[in-house]
Amino acid sequence: MDPPVDPDREPLPSRVLPMLASAATLPAGDDWAYEVKWDGVRVIAASVPGTLRLTSRNAGDVTARYPELARGARRLGMHEAVLDGEVVALGADGRPSFSALQRRMHLTRESAAKRLAAEAPVTYVVFDLLWLDGHDLTVLPYDERRRRLAELDLASERWLVPDPLDGPGEAVLAATREQGLEGVVAKRRDAPYLAGRPKGYWFKWKRDPMVIDAVLMYAQRGHGKRSSFYSDYTFGAWRGDELVPVGKAYSAFTDE
């Protein structure tokens, strides 16, 4: 027997823009929940059984860049859902590495994406549930959305669903500084989910970046349409008389 028809069911949304946080001093009090600010790229995931579609914060399709994330959607079973989260590249120490993620962010060739998915897999950190089985959840308070997200039990090898933190905010800030994480986001527990940067609902704090003088040691040209650009750099710093590699970057620059 077929299940009863849900008269209030709505179609899966074709385009979802993320809710953004404003930079400010973190608020304090019981009205706020705190989350780690992950050093990655924002991605909206729309899942129906057998299909996962990933879009960027500007609604561009980035599904092909992260093929290893499709396996995590199996945890949804027969549910249809739209999720909000961050794609991160976790290092051996468990911390996000944005330089490592840059290798994946601009891939256009399916073969390269599959190769790097095996060599340097990424992780999807899920922190909000926006739509579930025909029903818009963005009108619900943050706490209720997080409760329903937890009930789905989505944690897997390539998907993480960290619990929100109760605070106090200063303690969360201190912990992120100690662990070398990017920062903290504070979210009003009674707030709905609104696209854009609504004032008074979400606030973020980022730790001060470390700045060092570096020497360009190596540069490699891109491939195909990007062959006129250098897109793979290795930087070093002097340690006494020795030039030691200190990091990589993947932004594109012309010869000039």
Both tokens of 91, joined, read 């290092």
Cβ-proximal residues to 44 (8 Å cutoff; 6+ apart), any chain: 16, 18, 54, 55, 56, 57, 82, 83, 84, 130
Both tokens of 197, joined, read 């940067």
Tell me how far the alpha carbon of residue 151 is from its chain's centroid: 21
Distances from the Cα of 182 to the Cα of 39, 81, 196, 255, angstroms: 6, 28, 21, 32
Tell me which of 37, 206, 225, 248 is the catalytic residue. 37
Distances from the Cα of 162 to the Cα of 122, 126, 156, angstroms: 16, 7, 12
Annotated active-site residue 37? The verdict is yes
Nearest CA to 145 out of 35, 11, 39 is that of: 35
| Residues with active-site annotation | 37
